[in-house]
Amino acid sequence: MTERAPPAEVTVWDPLVRILHWSLVLAYALAWASAETLEGLHVAVGYLVGGIVALRLLWGLVGTRHARFRDFVRPPREAIAYLRALAAGDPPHHLGHNPAGGWSVVLMLATLALVVASGLAALEPGGAGEAAEELHEFLAGLSLFLVLLHLGGVLLSSLLGGENLVRAMWTGRKRAGPGGR
């Protein structure tokens, strides 16, 4: 009986992607925790979230291979096909983000950009501030829904795909697919 070698791992996500990801996780959690009680901290963390989102958007255009949007934003039909395969319990392996995960990234970044913009508008004195605050709260709720959906997708993809995606986002390394890709 021969032992099989563990599947090869390759670096997928560069340090900047991982730092921005986990910084955004922490800043987002702090923004939620401070929303009702610590306005000064909430505003400061909101600026931080805005900066992280801006850097991630820039890195999505000029960054490393798997950081670039063109690498993981696939046509909607591919995201739907991936979700169908996931529902059937047989999701295909993707070295970078899977097609559904790619859309998750785009939707979360876009929503967070709008959350920050509406939060800034809410700080302006006058009637627009109140309407912006209501929009900000709605968008914050939408962002929480997207985060929970993302976490569910990560958990489901990890379980059905046999790969710890949280570990992969921490280390930057994933199991190589056929041909080392």
pTM: 0.85
Q: In the chain, which residues have pLDDT < 50?
A: 179-181
pLDDT of residue 1: 55
Q: What is the pLDDT of residue 179?
A: 44
pLDDT for res 126: 67
Question: What is the SS3 assignment for the chain?
Answer: CCCCCCCCEEECCCHHHHHHHHHHHHHHHHHHHHCCCCHHHHHHHHHHHHHHHHHHHHHHHHCCHHHCHHHHCCCHHHHHHHHHHHHCCCCCCCCCCCHHHHHHHHHHHHHHHHHHHHHHHHCCCCHHHHHHHHHHHHHHHHHHHHHHHHHHHHHHHHHHHCCCHHHHHHHCEEECCHHHC
- Residue 157: per-residue pLDDT: 85
